[in-house]
Amino acid sequence: MPRIDYERIVFYIIKHKNFENQNNLIGYTTDLRTKKYYITQGIKNKNNKEYNKIFNKEIRKNGGVNAYHIIELEKYPCKNKGEVLRRLLELIELYKPVLNMLYDVEETDKTEYEQIKTEDNETIEEDNEDNETIEEDNEDKQKDNEDNETIEEDNEDLKDDDVINKIETERNRLLSMYNNEAENKDKITFINNKCNEAIKKHLNKIRNSNEI
């Protein structure tokens, strides 16, 4: 069976010349000119396998080929048969063609359409579940970002502590050089003052940055 090029889909209507809203039929094809020929043969040629189709009998009963126009409704490129059937059912709902109710192939199409519609609903449900999963993932990412910010803040606090610890380490190293407090009182006071100054300066810097 040849592959159908759904990008070339054309919808047509077989329309009675004298009855505006009766004895009409909507179909689709990829080659309207060739389709017109096959439709005509199905109506007129007794040896054609389509001759005894109900809708062909109805056309012959209402004046035959000469009583009908075959008119292009629209070119409607599709990706697959599902899209074709969806549009076909939309056009049937819009034009309400009587002969589509007699066209046995249309009933097959309708059954297939209902199956596709069910599959579409299942796909929508799956998409909704996927969206919920994405939202949960985004919430998790947001929590991770908040945790990372907390970690960064903790690291900054550790850096601040490291600075103070270094000052204290340096204070202890310098003081250890002057064991005799009585003889080196001035130097010890100087070292303590300088270290306290450094700590105070560092704490002020932290305070100012937090205020900003």
Residue-wise pLDDT tens digits, 175-211: 677 665 666 777 777 777 777 877 777 677 766 666 5
Find the domain containing 44 and state its range. 6-102
pLDDT value, residue 23? 73
Task: Tell me whether residue 121 is in a domain.
Answer: no
CATH no. for residue 42?
A: 3.40.1440
Residues 11 and 90 in one domain: yes
Q: Is the pLDDT of residue 129 over 70?
A: no
Task: Tell me whether residue 140 is in a domain.
Answer: no
Q: Can you give the pTM of this predicted structure?
A: 0.51
Residues 20 and 85 in one domain: yes
pLDDT value, residue 116? 57
pLDDT value, residue 146? 62
Question: Which is more confident, 5 or 23?
Answer: 5
The answer to whether the CB of 188 falls within 8 A of the CB of 212 is no
Last residue of a domain, which of 45, 73, 102? 102
* Segment 159-173 mean pLDDT: 70
Task: Tell me whether residue 198 is in a domain.
Answer: yes
Task: Tell me whether residue 25 is in a domain.
Answer: yes
Residues 156 and 98 in one domain: no
Q: Is the pLDDT of residue 170 over 90?
A: no
What's the structural domain count of the chain? 2
Residues 83 and 157 in one domain: no
Task: Tell me whether residue 138 is in a domain.
Answer: no
* Segment 59-78 mean pLDDT: 92
Distance CA 51, CA 64 (A): 12
Question: Which is more confident, 186 or 143?
Answer: 186
Q: Is the pLDDT of residue 157 over 60?
A: no
Q: Is the pLDDT of residue 91 over 70?
A: yes
